A and B are shown apart, each in its own frame.
Chain A
Amino acid sequence: MAEVRDAHEDILFAPIELTGPGFYWAVAGLSVLILWGAIAYGVQFTQGLGVTGLDQPVSWGFYVTNFVFFIGISHAGTLISAILRLSKAEWRRPITRMAEVITCMVIFIGAGQILVDLGRPDRMMNVLLHGRYQSPLLWDATSISAYLTASLTYLYLPMIPDIAILRDRLGKRKLLYSVLALGWTGTEYQQKVLNRAIAIMAVLVIPIAISVHSVVSFVFSMTLQPAWHSTIFGPYFVVGAIFSGIAGLIVTMIIFRKAYGLHYYLKPIHFRYLGQLLLIMALLWFYFTFAEYLTGYYGAEPEELKVFWSKFTGPFWPFFWSMVLCNFVVPLVCLASLKQHTVGKVLIASLFIVVGMWLERFIIVVPTLSFPRLPFPVGVYWPTWVEWGETAGSLALFALFYLLFTKFFPIISIWEIREGREHSVREVEERILSYLPGEVEEKT
């Protein structure tokens, strides 16, 4: 079939074909933050974890919070992309690639946080050589490996037709694109193979994604500590991950929509639907949070109450109530009505949620450790410049990876947009007709 050369499509190739000053400024800015993070880690590596604010008993702080946070953000991609594909939601077409790239990049950053947290990172091979599967950290290692492998596959497969387009269109990097395109020519047979493979991966990726954040939560819930040893943690963390993931996705979409001028492809309707999903997740998150704290409060077990009150009125109240504001109040206000100023409202809500979900992880990790069961003095935790630097550097590193990806591959799935134009209208019409009352046709 003849390829309709859409003039608007040029904008999807623009980041790959051209590089403007904006890119270099962005790279420079990110590099400064990454340098800060690298220096911070260098100091920590040579001197020891003593350069952080960690102490006895608060021996986990920013790094573990970041770990949970980044792995949470990773649920943006595969989960959204897979669920939207499987539920045949046509509005997913310009979104899936962006989402899948987030997942792949951020998993590395998330896993890296644990390595940064180790007292002896030079011994990280011990986990491979001498791992114990009774430890939730090994469950983490396995499920994150599975998730990474699945996400990379799930990112790569739908990229194949786009890489073939690049191979045929561009002059540069021909070898790279030729190899990765696997000889794609768009035949019906190839389409069938690819669609089947993507469908299998979409189904497989969902339980893996759910297992990843459940297993991350098990690191806490498998201990006996008050406010950690709770059966709700698995589902709670998964819901929180999807929540923060969608917010992260929206922020990324809006940034690149502005930077690359993708307004033709990323329309307010996409943000409206994502905003509605975000609202649902905000309500769901609130429900889980409410159930968790009500249970602790009503049971009134002394150790749990100590931690409970420390969050509600005690030393952690600014973080706790900021979290409620960011994750519940602001999203509800912004997302209740999305008819007007859709993109603006959704952006504000998402930014607040990203911050709020980081606070939520912090509120889970630190207060429990600060209030030991035995009569120790209450733990105090003040993060140092090392931990701030590491956090900033990690975020910047993720942003840099993402930015570099957009320079090599289209950030919006070109062939899926074309497929949507050429086939989907008819398919959706047929599908809707099949729902409406009528004679059931014999299958010919």
Chain B
Amino acid sequence: MALWGMVIDLDRCTGCQACVMACKAENNVPAVGADEAKRGRVISWMQVLTETDEEHHASKTRFIPRPCLQCDDPPCTKVCPVYATYRNPEGIVAQIYARCIGCRFCMAACPYNAKYFNWYSYQKEAPGQNPDVSLREKGVVEKCTFCHHRLQKARERALVEKREFDPLEYVPACAEACPAKAIVFGDLADPASEVAQLARSPRAFKLQEELGTKPKVIYLTEGEGGG
């Protein structure tokens, strides 16, 4: 069984946010508008966080692209009252819009703030949207799904072409778009995959690892591990 994960090399990340834009385009993430953005309601499945060094404010800034960390022990799925979010056997934490009652408990529980809410019906039918991803109405929670629809499409294509599914065919939009190749995606359960090898790097660390969420997005720290 595959275990889909991601490694993000912070030394390569330039903070260009191509991943953010690619994600929004791929997943029909709505632009909420300037007024709503001012009220703090931007929806950004992939978000680049900036962390300024405490000692060197002016010179050192760290860019941390933060998708949903697809935890292996997700705090969000524990608290969902209606099975609207759950971890599937391949490690992807699913979000079922049709089931979600909008209680926002998962949002309160996520220590990474990876979940977003549709405060209004932001999305309307518009040309140029990705037909593979459903639109979300007001009142439901949404989040990064590792472009799960691309996995389904790749699997179906392999089935139609009567061949084995190759994990390398499945790449989320952010990994595909990154110009610095900072985002590597693949099957963590396959020790030979690039993701698994990078995850074992001495530079590897996980965000808030002490919380025990077992996130599957692993970061590589800058430099020789000195940060």
- Taking a contact as CB atoms under 8 Å apart, the answer to whether B119 and A48 are in contact is yes
Contact mask for chain B residues 132-145; partner A; CB cutoff 8 A; 1 contact, 0 none: 00000011110000
B contact residues around A54 at 8 Å (CB): 119
Q: A137-B105, A374-B113 are in contact. Are A119 and B139 (CB under 8 A)?
A: yes
- Taking a contact as CB atoms under 8 Å apart, the answer to whether B101 and A126 are in contact is yes
Bound Cα distance from A57 to B80, whole angstroms = 18
- Which residues of B line the A interface, CB within 8 A? 36, 39-42, 49-51, 64, 66, 75, 78-84, 99-105, 107-109, 111-113, 116-121, 138-141, 207-208, 211, 213
Smallest CB-CB separation from A50: which chain B residue?
Answer: B119
User: Within residues 119 to 135 of chain A, which ones have a CB less than 8 A from any CB in chain B?
Assistant: 119-121, 123-124, 126-127, 130-132, 134-135
B contact residues around A24 at 8 Å (CB): none
In angstroms, how far is the closest chain B Cβ from the Cβ of A122?
9
Q: Do most interface residues of chain B lie in helix, strand or loop, or is the interface mixed?
A: loop
- Taking a contact as CB atoms under 8 Å apart, the answer to whether B39 and A48 are in contact is no
Contact mask for chain A residues 131-154; partner B; CB cutoff 8 A; 1 contact, 0 none: 110111110010000000000000
A contact residues around B120 at 8 Å (CB): 47-48, 50
In angstroms, how far is the closest chain B Cβ from the Cβ of A383?
12
**A-B pairs with beta carbons under 8 A, tally:** 139
- Taking a contact as CB atoms under 8 Å apart, the answer to whether A132 and B103 are in contact is no
In the complex, identify which listed stretch (A162-170, A218-226, A341-349) lies at the interface while the others stay far away. A218-226
Other A-B pairs beyond A49-B102, A56-B113, 13, CB < 8 Å: A48-B121, A49-B138, A53-B39, A56-B40, A119-B138, A120-B101, A123-B82, A126-B82, A127-B101, A131-B81, A135-B79, A373-B112, A376-B49
- Which residues of A line the B interface, CB within 8 A? 47-50, 53-60, 114, 117-121, 123-124, 126-127, 130-132, 134-138, 141, 219, 222-225, 369, 372-377, 379-380
A contact residues around B208 at 8 Å (CB): 373-374
Q: A48-B121, A55-B40 are in contact. Are A131 and B82 (CB under 8 A)?
A: yes
- Taking a contact as CB atoms under 8 Å apart, the answer to whether A56 and B41 are in contact is yes
Q: A55-B40, A137-B81 are in contact. Are A130 and B108 (CB under 8 A)?
A: no
A contact residues around B211 at 8 Å (CB): 224
Bound Cα distance from A58 to B80, whole angstroms = 18
Smallest CB-CB separation from B116: which chain A residue?
Answer: A56
B contact residues around A141 at 8 Å (CB): 81
Bound Cα distance from A141 to B105, whole angstroms = 14
Contact sample, A vs B, 11 pairs, CB 8 Å cutoff? A48-B119, A50-B41, A57-B40, A59-B104, A59-B107, A127-B101, A222-B78, A225-B111, A373-B111, A374-B112, A374-B113
- Taking a contact as CB atoms under 8 Å apart, the answer to whether A135 and B104 are in contact is no
Q: A56-B42, A132-B83 are in contact. Are A375 and B105 (CB under 8 A)?
A: no
Bound Cα distance from A259 to B207, whole angstroms = 60
B contact residues around A379 at 8 Å (CB): 40
B contact residues around A119 at 8 Å (CB): 100-104, 117-118, 138-141
Bound Cα distance from A124 to B139, whole angstroms = 12
- Taking a contact as CB atoms under 8 Å apart, the answer to whether B50 and A132 are in contact is no
Bound Cα distance from A369 to B105, whole angstroms = 12
Q: A57-B113, A59-B108, A376-B49 are in contact. Are A222 and B119 (CB under 8 A)?
A: no
- Taking a contact as CB atoms under 8 Å apart, the answer to whether A132 and B139 are in contact is no
Bound Cα distance from A53 to B41, whole angstroms = 10
Bound Cα distance from A55 to B113, whole angstroms = 12
Smallest CB-CB separation from A368: which chain B residue?
Answer: B108
Bound Cα distance from A119 to B138, whole angstroms = 7
Bound Cα distance from A60 to B104, whole angstroms = 8
- Taking a contact as CB atoms under 8 Å apart, the answer to whether B105 and A135 are in contact is yes
In angstroms, how far is the closest chain B Cβ from the Cβ of A124?
6
